Amino acid sequence: MNYLFVVAHPDDEVLGAGATIHKLIRQGNRVAVCTLANHAAARVNISETLQADQLNAYKIMGVHNSYVGDFPNIKMNTVPHLELVQFVEKCIQDWQAEFIFTHHPSDTNNDHVVTSYVAQAASHLFQRKEGVPELKQFLYMEVLSSTEWAFDSSSNRFTPNMFVEVGKEGIDIKLKALAAYSGVMRPYPHPRSNEGITGLAAYRGVQAGCSYAEAFESVFCRL
């Protein structure tokens, strides 16, 4: 199976699904990551070696391929929607993606919100163009320090309905991949701390009755 993770920034793929990505690859699936804003501009304490850091994180998780956008960081709402959609559509077609993971549309980070709506629009490519595999599933991720920080009570919050058991080994891989990103992690009690990430995985595991888990919201499923 071909999985595509569509994210706004480098590190979002690990924060949202690092352990799941590693598990999918170990199970023999093919995984690619599409990053829309692939530079450090306007990001505090993020290393100028961001692209190299991301490649190191990919090696740790085993990611097969990556697609790099050059859209403006924290300014994606200034880019015409069609340009963003067409970029993601090219990634979907090239990778022959059957499963798509992206941000939740009520995240507090506006780039995440834009990315979510772009991925939603692009996901219908198989209904508009020949040679694109049918979409089997579309899912939202939770990205710590964004998804749980959302204040907008007028929109639907992240509501997990699919849990992937990753075990302690999966969380260790996730933390190792996050450590590859200079300046991303923070001391506890920040959400992007070892304790915060491990604690959330333990809680999601408790919800699902398994040993550590990453949670997702499946909004389309055709299996």
* Domain residue limits, the chain: 2-221
Output b/e per residue, 203-218; b: 16+ Cβ within 10 A: ebbeebeebbbbbbbe
pTM: 0.95
Q: Give yes or no for residue 27 having a pLDDT over 90.
A: yes
Task: Please list, in sequence order, all residues whose beta carbon lies within 8 angstroms of the beta carbon of residue 129, skipping any fewer than 6 positions away.
Answer: 93
Report which of residues 184 and 23 the model is more confident about. 23
Q: Give yes or no for residue 41 having a pLDDT over 80.
A: no
pLDDT band of 153, cuts 50, 70, 90: confident
Cα distances (Å, whole numbers) of residue 100 to 24, 56, 81, 120: 13, 23, 19, 9
Contact indicator for 110, 76 with CB cutoff of 8 Å? yes
Q: Give yes or no for residue 40 having a pLDDT over 70.
A: no
Mean pLDDT for the stretch of residues 172-200: 95
What pLDDT, on the 0 to 100 scale, is given for residue 118?
98
The CATH superfamily label for domain 2-221 reads LmbE-like (3.40.50.10320)
pLDDT tens digits for 70-114? 999 999 999 999 999 999 999 999 999 999 999 999 999 999 999
Task: Please list, in sequence order, all residues whose beta carbon lies within 8 angstroms of the beta carbon of residue 53, skipping any fewer than 6 positions away.
Answer: 10, 47, 180, 181, 182
DSSP 100: E
What pLDDT, on the 0 to 100 scale, is given for residue 100?
98
